[in-house]
Amino acid sequence: MRKRLFFCINLCLFLFLILPLYGHAFERAYERRTEEIYATVRHSLAVYDDIGGDFLTYVDEFKGIKAWRESTNWYRIEYKKKGKTCTGWITRGDFYSDCLIYDGREKQILADGEYEMAYSSPFPKYSVSALDQDLTLDDRFHLKFTFLGDGLFLVKNTQNGKYLQPDPLYSKKAYHFWGPEKTAGAFRLIRKEGLFAVRDSVSGRYLVKNNDGIICFVRNKYACWRIRRYDKAITKESIRVFAQFDADWADHYYGSGKNEDPSSNLFTTSGCGIFSTVNAIYAVTGMFPDPYELAEYAVKKDYRILDNGTDSGFFKAAAKKFGEKYGFRYDGSTGSIDRLKKKVQKGDVAVTHVPGHYVVIASYDKKRKKFLLLDPYHLNKRATNAYGDWIKLSDLEDGNLMGYEFYFYKAERPEE
C-alpha cells in the first residue's frame, strides 16, 4: 500500500513538473488538425541523414523548419539550404530544446467571417475619407469571406445565400454575378491603405460598382472597397496566434541604426509589444496588420526601448496612427480585472502587461468563466502554447500571467 501511495505521489509530482513544459497547464484553445509542425530554430540545430544516422549539417538559428514525429525519439524535418528544400532527421531532445513551435498556417489578409463591403469610387490615394458618406443600406453588401489558400477567398452574399461568380470575360454563357457555390469564383484581396481591391484570380480584373449600382469587372486597379466586420474575428471556433518568432520575420531587426549584435533586438527577442498589437487588431477587426509597419512607427516615435521592448504608450499611439486603416480605435486602459471582463464581453480586446511581457486577452467564455489568452512568445514559465490558452481569472491575479494593466481596442463596426 505504501509503495502504491509513494508511486502515485511521485507520478503526480512528475505530471505537475513536466506538463507545463509541453504547454498543457491551461486548456489549449486551438488544436492542430495535421501532424505537420512549424517551428523556428532557436539555436543551431544538428541534422542527421536518418534515424540514428550520421551527422548531416546544421540549420542556422532563426530559420524555419517543418517537422513530423516519426518515432519516440526522432523527428523528420524539412528545411531550406541554399534555396533548396532538404530533408533530414533531428532528435526529440533537440526539437524540444532548440525549436519554437508556432502556428504555420498561411497568413490571411482577412479572417474568415461576415463583413459589410461598401464601394468607393476609383481614386489614386486610397484615402478612407474619400468614401461616399451618403451610402444607404442598399448600397452595401453583406458578405461572408472564406479563405481558400494561396491568398484567395470564396465570397458569399449572406442576403441572398449565393456566391460571387468569376469574371465573365472568358465565358460565352449567360452570366449572373451571384450563383451556386459549385461555380463560384476565387478572389484575391489587395490592401489599398484602409481599403481593399477585389481581384478575380483568373482574369486579373477588379470588382467595381458602376453609376447604375451594378457590379462588374474592370481593369482599373484603383477600384476599392471598404470592408468592416460585424463581430470579433477571434471566437471559440476561430482562433489564431501570430508569434514574434515566426520564421517569416524572426530575425528582423527591431530598432534603428546598425544592430551590433545580430542575436539581439530582433522581433524574436524584443517584439512582444508589436505582435500583441498585431494579435489584438486581428482579433477585433479580422484584418492582419503589417508588423514591419507597426515596428517602424514604434521606432520612429521613440516607443521602442532598446534591449528591452516597447513602451506601453505605443498602444494608444498605434490606434491613432493605424486605426482608420485597420478599422479600430483605442478604448482606454485599466488595472481592474473586473473592468477587463466587462469590456471584453462587450466586444473589446486587451493588450495586457504581464511580468516582463505583453499578451492579449481576446475573449471571455461566460459559461466556463475563462479568458482566451494569446501569447506571442509562449514560455514554460507561463505554461502557454502556440495555439492560444483558455485561462481562469485567478491566473491573471497572480504568477507569471498577473495582469498589471490592460489596454483596450474596439472595432469600428458598420453603421446599422
Residue 25 binned pLDDT confidence (cut-offs 50, 70, 90)? low
What proportion of the chain, given as a percentage, has pLDDT over 70?
88
Domain 31-102 has CATH 2.30.30.40: yes
Res. 115: pLDDT tops 70: yes
Q: What are the residue ranges of CATH 2.30.30.40 in the chain?
A: 31-102
Cα 382 from Cα 412, distance rounded (Å): 32
pLDDT tens profile 194-212:
899 999 999 999 999 877 7
Burial class (CB in 10 A: 0-12, 13-18, 19+), 192: buried
How would CATH label the architecture of 1-28+232-416? Alpha-Beta Complex (3.90)
Res. 13: pLDDT tops 90: no
CATH number of 113-229: 2.80.10.50
Q: What are the residue ranges of CATH 2.80.10.50 in the chain?
A: 113-229
pLDDT of res. 257: 86
- 357, β-bridge pairs: 354
Residue 86 binned pLDDT confidence (cut-offs 50, 70, 90)? very high
Res. 129: pLDDT tops 50: no
pLDDT tens profile 266-293:
999 999 999 999 999 999 999 999 999 9
Q: What are the residue ranges of CATH 3.90.70.10 in the chain?
A: 1-28+232-416
Res. 171: pLDDT tops 90: no
Contact 114, 146 (CB under 8 A): no
- 76, β-bridge pairs: 68, 89
Cα 152 from Cα 167, distance rounded (Å): 15
Burial 340-368 (b: 16+ CB within 10 A, else e): bbebbeebbbbbbbbeebbbbbbbbeeee
Res. 137: pLDDT tops 90: no
pLDDT of res. 174: 67
Residue 5 binned pLDDT confidence (cut-offs 50, 70, 90)? very low
pLDDT tens profile 357-396:
999 999 999 999 999 999 999 998 999 999 999 999 999 9
Cα 334 from Cα 407, distance rounded (Å): 7
Res. 15: pLDDT tops 60: no
Residue 179: its H or E element: strand 178-179
Cα 416 from Cα 407, distance rounded (Å): 27
Extract the C-alpha cell encoding 215.
457590379
Contact 28, 385 (CB under 8 A): yes
Of the candidates 372, 119, 151, the one whose C-alpha atom is nearest the C-alpha of residue 226 is 119
Res. 132: pLDDT tops 70: no
